[in-house]
Structure 1
Amino acid sequence: MTTPPAGPRLLGPAEVRQLADRLDLRPTKQRGQNFVIDPNTVRRIVREAGVGPDDVVVEVGPGLGSLTLALLDVVRHVVAVELDDRLAGLLAETVADRAPDHADRLAVVHADALRVDALPGPPPTALVANLPYNVSVPVLLHLLALLPSLEKGLVMVQAEVADRLAARPGSKAYGVPSVKAAWYADVRRAGSVGRSVFWPAPNVDSGLVAWTRRDPPATTATRQQVFAVVDAAFAQRRKALRGALRPLAEAAGRDAGDLDAALRGAGVDPLARGEQLEVGTFAALAEGLLVVPGDRPRPADHP
């Protein structure tokens, strides 16, 4: 009779502090280091992420390994991207100690997630992470663009950022992160996380954001062109779109008539504001304003 692999021994408050002491580690706000010390929280994250034995998961900022250990118990493979050299060096050792039967499922990449341009191993299918709060949105958008194989994900971020990512047109929280995330995926709020599950406890509340990949809007505009319109529309939130987009139009060699024609073509009231538009409308605006007739999007623009 074959003995089933032993499950990982998850990290609690004492184990997290012991590992930190071993490295003489003092968590820094600069790198957004707040370590999860509650096993139930990491189990919840894995459960809410909906990952299973066929998934290859990217984890950014694994830290001391709290979430990594919980993921290894469920998924086929974890690629952990860690910027801190001490943490990156210790992670494999921690997994070998606390989850020896699952250690071969882990690959550690010592790198800045914002600068990663490739990952080892099979194409990842999910992103599950307690993202460093100071760079959470740029990291999420970078990985969604870089890794078209990602089908789904769940990330823990600052509560305010979670609200923005999942916001819908017309809401106060709706803005640049909302639209850019919607280019790649259907995004939803997946719950809240209390401050007491972290060490050190952060000064902000945390939220979970789940997403499922979908195709971007059908358009001849590139992603970069659409995002340029999004950035311009929200650069001065109180301005109507006719005024907010004028500098972008002028930079593209278009005049006021071209801008008005683009707004009409996209079915947009010139006096509307960016927070009223969904991502498909921004794509239509970019197509009318920035695409030269005869242009075709390059494959890399639609990851």
Structure 2
Amino acid sequence: MTEHTNQANQDERTAGESQLLGAADVRRIAGESDISPTKKFGQNFVIDPGTVRRIVREAGVTAHSRVLEVGPGLGSLTLALLETGAHVTAVEIDPSLAQRLPETVAQFMPDTVDHFTVIRGDALNLSPETLPEYAPTGSQSDDSFMLVSNLPYNVATPILLTLLERFDNLDRFLVMVQKEVADRLAAKPGSKIYGTPSVKLAWYGRAERVGLVGRNVFWPIPNVDSALVSFVRYANAENTNEAKKDTNGSDAAGLPYTTGTARPISPINVEVDREQVFQLIDTAFGQRRKTLHAALKKLVPEEAFKSAGIDPTRRGETLTISEFAALAGALQA
């Protein structure tokens, strides 16, 4: 690329025509930094500005948002997030990408560098202790944040469940994942793809697939289709009782949401230990073709099924998260 062409591109960005990364920008940055996408980290970089703007729009990111991005890569989505004025913290496991990203932000959106942070590390190691600026405060102030990411496809589900477990102020996410993974995350009881990711995610909130993404928006082009998954966390236990009193609306699915927060109310109406519920889920789906009576015989006595109102001849793949919770509650009674 000639000096004249570089200057022309910079003039375009100054004029506000585009501050996001296109295909030529992505390849140039990768070449200058001697970066090659690797299967080890599940890297496929988005090269289409329209796609990242769509993700940001679907996520509802505004200038008031606090956004965690996992796997920013070369910065395509990062710039689209920063374009809104949001405060963004990007977590990148690849040291070369983590080192290059601040330079890209400074080059393409210099006015946003003061509300952007990049952390080199593994998202599976994040916790309120390692990421104190996102730690729940327990105060009346809004400490919530959202996750908006093109997640590494090989570890997408563990990342989501780990972050939801460790950060109870992570109240929503919009992520791009492999289509098959998206379908499993949003699957409902009784379907063939309903499994442990589906029901465990339902413990925390409500997920739905909100769109498909074509393969040609990536470099390199992946061998799988991609999709977007949207998630909203249930109102927490402290607010749920009050929320049930004040509910005055329904979401698109006809389910109630809490006044003023648009956060759905949890269908779980018993006080139960999450780890015990997840143990039942893992065991039931570990032998998903068996009946609950057979799969859970070492964990659940006959009287617990009766107390929870669950037919033991059913299979785990037919149970909702509230029914798994009811079964756990019966064990604690």
Higher mean C-alpha deviation, range 115-124 or range 200-209: 115-124
Asked if 1:50 is matched to 2:92, the reply is: no
Contact in 2 for aligned 1:34/1:202 (Cα 8 Å) = yes
Could you tell me which residue of structure 2 aligns to residue 155 of structure 1?
Answer: 175
The corresponding residue for 1:252 is none
Equivalent in the alignment of 1:199: 219
Write the distance in 2 (CA, Å) between the matches of 1:6 and 1:17: 21
Displaced runs of 4+ in structure 1, greater than 4 A?
A: 5-8
| Equivalent in 101, 104, 113 of residue 111 of structure 2 | 101
Equivalences for residues 1-303 of structure 1 within 5 A: 9-118=19-128, 119-121=131-133, 123-214=143-234, 215=236, 216=266, 217-247=268-298, 249=299, 259-289=301-331, 291=332, 293=333
| Larger displacement relative to structure 2 (173-182 or 15-24) | 15-24
**Contact 2:70/2:149 (<8 A) preserved:** yes
Counterpart AA for 2:133: G
Which structure has more RCO (C-alpha within 8 Å, separation ≥ 6)?
A: 1
TM superposition score normalised by structure 1? 0.88
Q: 1:201 Cα shift?
A: 0.8
- Compute the RMSD of aligned alpha carbons: 1.8
SS in 1 for 2:322: helix
Give 1:220 deviation, angstroms.
3.0
Work out whether residues 42 and 66 of structure 1, in 8 Å CA contact, stay in contact via their aligned partners in 2: yes
Bigger drift between 205-214 and 73-82 goes to 73-82
State the secondary structure of the residue aligned to 2:301. Answer: helix
Alpha-carbon distance in structure 1 between the residues aligned to 2:323 and 2:206: 16
Output the TM-score relative to the length of structure 2: 0.80
Gaps of 5+ in 2: 1-14, 135-142, 237-265
Gapped regions of structure 1 (runs ≥ 5): 250-257, 294-303
CA distance in 2, matches of 1:88, 1:124: 25
Counterparts of 2:315 and 2:296 in 1: how far apart (Å)? 10
SS at match of 2:170: coil
How many angstroms apart in 2 are the aligned matches of 1:7 and 1:272?
Answer: 58
Distance in 1 (CA, whole Å) between partners of 2:74 and 2:94 is 11
Shift of 1:209: 0.2
Matched residue pairs, number? Answer: 279
Aligned partners of 1:83 and 1:181: how far apart in 2? 24
